[in-house]
Amino acid sequence: MSLTRTTCPYCGVGCGVLAGADGTIKGDPEHPANFGRLCSKGAALGETIDLDGRLLHPKVNGVDADWDTALDLVAQKFTAAIAEHGPESVAFYASGQLLTEDYYVANKLMKGFIGAANIDTNSRLCMASSVAGHKRAFGTDTVPGTYADLEQADLIVLVGSNLAWCHPVLYQRIAAAKDARPDMRIVNIDPRRTATSDLADTHLQIAPDGDIALFNGLLAHMADGGKLDAAFTDNHVNGVAGAIAAARASNPADTGLLPHELNAFFTLWARTEKVVTIYSQGVNQSGCGTDKVNAILNCHLATGRIGRAGTGPFSVTGQPNAMGGREVGGLANMLANHLELDNAAHRQVVQDFWDSPTICTQPGLKAVDLFEACAKGQIKALWVMSTNPAVSLPDAGRVAAAIAKVPFVVTSDIMEKTDTNDLAHVLLPATGWGEKDGTVTNSERRISRQRAFLPAPGRARPDWEILSDVAARMGFGDAFAYQKPADIFAEYVALDGAAAHIARDLDLSIFADADYAKMIPTQWPRNDHRFFADGTFYHPDGKARMIAVIAPVLAKPRFTLNTGRNRDQWHTMMRTGKSARLSAHLAEPYVEINPQDAVGIGAAHGDLIEVQSKHGRALSRALITPRVAKGQLFAPMHWTRQRTRHGVINTVTAPLTDPVSDQPALKSAAVSARVYRAKWYGFLACKDEPTPQTPYAAIARTKTGWQVEMAGEQDVGDWEAQGRSLSGQPGGDLSVQTDPATGSVRMAIMNNGVITALLFASPKPVVVSRTAINAMIGTNTPAILALAGRSPSDQPDAGATVCACFSVGRNSVLAAVARGAHSVTALGDATCAGTNCGSCKPELAALLAQAQLRLAAE
Ligand code: SF4
């Protein structure tokens, strides 16, 4: 089987992948981002490329249509809206999943031909605060760091970044560097103790949004101790005095940290020359995200810890092509190629180059405002590309209602059933990863090729082609006559050449003669370039700016809800949710709650928690853990209305945004929490996909079919009918056990001696091994054994999945510890866990520590 050299479609690390049409997936040993490594999500890519659930034909009002009909309608509706209500009445909402070529065409159509800037993207939710902070400090949106800097640093400070789960291969690179140089220090700053904290020498459990007070405190400490680099700031930085004065006005107590913790951190930072500060959503997704970014940049600028190997601030992006989107102007306040939308000379260069009839002159609607404009009836035609805002935006219930109000909604997507597609009039089938060709830019400015190794399924077409065909139907055919992605990339590089006289960081000249087909991963402007090495920045005077930032006054709600991500899922699970292996790790929405708070609201393990705000409510399983501080809750954002009933956590979050970047504050919603008083709880394992309508439900794939966690507030009454209905099996032999003393019900449905459904229900949370029950579907295990919830003796229950690559469960890990495996390496030798992608190593280490404590106490 020949393998194609391509790039992972998930996070901003941008790992190289060798992929085959038979589903073979390997890390690319030659890719400089990962040198052959992959995380659990990347390693499971082969399990997500099937056509199950794919959108294979255009659909108009739910009915299959041919491309001409669908595209004619899209062009006609957009043209009519523009003619009647003006260009500001239409909008595109795009995605960091798009390839650079797709993004370029979408941006060109909206800004240069429709003449509005109403194109924003889910990258607004990811790193808009970093973009704004970079521009304030450097004059450009420049990410100066490289992955090699992480390996050369003596101190890595991770702020609001659970790298172990969200950028696992970078985490592995840091872990390997620390193994090789144990003197390297790692400080993890996060309100929550995460898998990343386990690698750190110090975890600072900061108060939510305490980052400005912390970095202001650091700056003041260094200014007072004579630790600033005056030679550097005198020559290269403005705004030093103002930033220091603001820093001194901050109260370090606002960090929530103890004086000795602050002193130790400040002293370590001040005395270490090579410091890299990595930050991601914990910094960006905040009502003061841009100020947080600048508080961090201030410390690096004030000490000259930038522009040199092993130093610098480093914003790591969530999406695979968030950086590419930034480069081609895929945000509502940017022009293409790092040119400024509010600069007439820049606009003229772009308009001349595009030979376009118009060019937008003012910023368009940014994500949250865009959907608010939909709610107000201002948007008459909306095109959502490759993303799912009805789930991922804050106040997601209102966003869904807002989309439903738009007179004409078109989506282009790879999947047919999504929460957003359910609201659209026209669905356009797009090619997905493995089927499309183009480029992506990772967090260290490295442009890599995504290459097709599969044919386009059904009638699916690449996004750039769909956009170009609509543009042609709107009368702009000459400007969108691309034949292939290479044509678009060449135009993007040529536009960069046309703007070469405008001082910017973006310089694509290295790609001018690139052989697109053979392009190798390359950083712009050159692989060996180091930004700011000579102290020159991009403000008109060539200097950087330190920004005076003021720590916010922090509200103290009863509970602060922090949202984030799981190790083995990606965004709204449209692809990762297809993999039974990945779904086995944390298969249900959950909310982490501190043990004291759990006592306070009367919650026990297994209870469901109702999290509520003025925007909505969501139900999630209680995960009681000291990893979250008292007064805080954490919930992952992945679950959709397709996968849960009442489990969409963004129905609770508030549409509050950073005033500079307009990025939503998704990590600090003021909420209440209480135990959901269910009358019954249920667990169902079955062969066919269920569609439960119970008050609470969460479904997930398993290796043998599907599983459902359920609960309800009303007595069920007829459990036999309910079991048949939930499992979608009106026929088959039924075995039922009831226990009047406990009120529990156990039920098996068998067809020709094979188990096709098992249901366990109880007035209390169901205690049964999910792994063991799921494993019995499709077997001829005797009903009496199955209803006892016991694995056959020759198939011991592995327990909840820890290692997704080799499906190693918790029970297997604990058994290996009991047999004498006393290190993560030894656990790997005994069980294979952690020996492929390594993403589970932090969990293995935690399990090992717990088990050893228990053994020592016995
Ligand atoms: Fe993909 Fe994992 Fe690499 Fe991110 S770290 S690019 S998800 S393989």
> How does pLDDT run across 56-107, given as a tens digit for each residue?
999 999 999 999 999 999 999 999 999 999 999 999 999 999 999 999 999 9
Q: For a pocket test of ligand 1, which of 15, 28, 37, 161 has the largest count of ligand atoms closer than 8 A to its C-beta?
A: 15
Residue 548 above 90 pLDDT?
Answer: yes
Predicted local confidence at residue 308, as pLDDT: 97
Residue 19 CA to ligand 1 center (angstroms) comes to 14
Q: How far does the centroid of ligand 1 lie from the alpha carbon of residue 687, in Å?
A: 31
pLDDT exceeds cutoff 80 at 795? no
- Ligand 1 atom with least separation from CA of 442: 6
The atom number, within ligand 1, closest to the CA of 167 reads 5
Asked if residue 582 has pLDDT above 90, the reply is no
What does the pLDDT read at residue 804?
A: 77
pLDDT single digits (tens) 348-357: 999 999 999 9
Give the pLDDT mean for 766-784.
90
Give the pLDDT confidence score for residue 790 in this predicted structure: 66
| 8 alpha carbon – ligand 1 mean position (Å) | 6
- Residue 390: what pLDDT? 97
Mean pLDDT of 527-556: 94
pLDDT in tens, 172-226: 999 999 999 999 999 999 999 999 998 999 999 999 999 999 999 999 999 999 9
Q: How far, in Å, from the CA of 169 to the mean position of ligand 1? A: 6
Q: 170 alpha carbon to ligand 1 midpoint, in Å?
A: 9
pLDDT tens sequence across 237-288? 999 999 999 999 999 999 999 999 999 999 999 999 999 999 999 999 999 9
Average pLDDT, the chain: 94
**Whose alpha carbon is nearest atom 4 of ligand 1?**
11
**Per-residue pLDDT at 276:** 98
Q: Which of 13, 47, 162, 170 to mutate to test the pocket of ligand 1 (most atoms within 8 A of CB)?
A: 13
Of 835, 791, 793, give the one whose Cα is nearest residue 813: 835
Ligand 1 nearest-atom number relative to CA 170:
5
| Confidence tier at 715 by pLDDT (50, 70, 90) | confident
Buried b (16+ CB within 10 A) or exposed e, 654-670: bbbbbebbbbbbbbbbb
Q: Give the distance (Å) from ligand 1 centre to CA of residue 389.
A: 23
Cα–Cα dist 52/33, whole Å: 31
Give the list of residues 6+ apart from residue 549 with CB closer than 8 angstroms, or none.
212, 216, 243, 246, 291, 292, 294, 295, 298
pLDDT of residue 284: 96
Q: How far is the CA of 14 from the centre of ligand 1 (A)?
A: 6
What's the CA gap between 29 and 14, in Å, rounded?
13
pLDDT of residue 794: 56
Q: Which residue intervals of 556-621 are DSSP H helices?
A: 580-583, 595-601
- Counting from 1 in the atom list of ligand 1, the atom nearest the Cα of 17 is 8
Q: How many residues does the chain have?
A: 858
Query: What does the angle CA 281 – CA 283 – CA 289 come to, to the nearest 5 degrees?
Result: 115
Average pLDDT of 39-65? 95
Radius of gyration from C-alpha coordinates of the chain: 27
Residue 792 predicted with pLDDT over 70: no
| Whole-number Å distance between alpha carbons of 116 and 332 | 9
Distance 7 CA to ligand 1 centre (A): 9
pLDDT bin (cut points 50, 70, 90) of residue 791 is: low
- pLDDT above 90 covers a percentage of the chain that reads 83
What residues contact 513, with CB distance under 8 A and at least 6 apart? none
Q: How far is ligand 1, taken at its centre, from the CA of residue 451, in Å?
A: 16
Q: Are 701 and 686 in contact (CB under 8 A)?
A: no
When pLDDT is averaged across residues 119-139 and rounded to a whole number, the result is: 96
Distance set, CA 644 to CA 123, 160, 638, 662, 790 (Å): 25, 28, 10, 29, 27
Cα-based distances in Å from 676 to 604, 608, 611:
11, 5, 9
Q: Of the residues 25, 34, 126, 570, which should be mutated to test ligand 1's pocket, given the most ligand atoms within 8 Å of the CB? A: 34
- Non-local CB neighbours of 28 within 8 Å, separated by 6+ positions: 5, 15, 16, 17, 18, 34, 36
* Interstrand relation of 90-94 and 63-64 (parallel, antiparallel or unpaired): unpaired
C-alpha 635/C-alpha 486 separation (Å) is 41
Distance between CA 607 and CA 630 in Å, rounded?
A: 18
Do residues 496 and 108 touch, judged by C-beta distance below 8 A? no
| Among protein residues, the one whose CA lies closest to atom 3 of ligand 1 | 15
The region of weakest confidence among 84-98, 282-296, 660-674, 724-738 is 724-738
Token pair listed for 813: 């890990």
pLDDT exceeds 90 at position 592? yes
Residue 819 pLDDT level (bands cut at 50, 70, 90): confident
- Inform me whether the pLDDT recorded for 386 exceeds 70: yes
Mean pLDDT score, 702-725 = 91
Q: In the structure, what pLDDT confidence band is assigned to residue 858 with cuts at 50, 70 and 90?
A: low
Pairing type for strands 90-94 and 381-385 reads parallel
- Nearest atom of ligand 1 to the alpha carbon of 40: 2
pLDDT surpassing 90 at residue 810: no
pLDDT for residue 828: 83
Measured in Å, residue 193 CA sits from the centre of ligand 1 at 22
pLDDT for the residue numbered 383: 98
Q: In angstroms, what is the span from residue 9 Cα to ligand 1's centroid?
A: 8
Distance 565 CA to ligand 1 centre (A): 14
User: How many Å apart are CA 395 and CA 32, to the nearest integer?
Assistant: 39
Within 6 A (CB) of ligand 1 lie 8, 10-11, 13-15, 34, 38-39, 41-42, 167-169
Percentage, residues of the chain above pLDDT 70 = 99
Q: What is the side-by-side order of every strand in the sheet holding 275-279?
A: 202-204, 185-189, 155-159, 275-279, 312-315
Edge-first strand listing for the sheet containing 522-523: 438-441, 446-450, 522-523
Residue 14 Cα: closest atom of ligand 1:
6
Ligand 1 centroid – CA 255 distance (Å): 32
Q: pLDDT by residue (tens digit) across 522-540?
A: 999 998 899 999 999 999 9
Q: What's the confidence (pLDDT) of residue 556?
A: 83
What is the pLDDT, as a whole number, of residue 350?
97
Residue 719 has a pLDDT of 87
Q: Which atom of ligand 1 lies at the shortest distance from residue 27's CA?
A: 8
Closest atom, ligand 1, to C-alpha of 11: 4
The predicted pLDDT at position 768 comes to 87
Atom of ligand 1 nearest to the CA of 839: 2
Q: When comparing pLDDT for 584 and 658, which is higher?
A: 658
Which of the residue ranges 190-199, 689-698, 790-799 would you say has the lowest mean pLDDT? 790-799
Q: Is the pLDDT of residue 567 over 90?
A: no
Q: Do 393 and 102 contact (CB within 8 A), yes or no?
A: no
Task: Count Cα atoms within 13 angstroms, Cβ side, for 354.
Answer: 30
Residue for token pair 């490289």: 146
Contact of 292 with 298, CB cutoff 8 Å: no
pLDDT, residue 566, reads: 86
User: What would the mean pLDDT of 509-524 be, rounded to a whole number?
Assistant: 96
Q: Ligand 1, atom 2: nearest CA belongs to which residue?
A: 39
Which of residues 565 and 795 earns the better pLDDT score?
565
| pLDDT at site 856 | 65
* Predicted local distance difference test score (pLDDT) of residue 820: 83
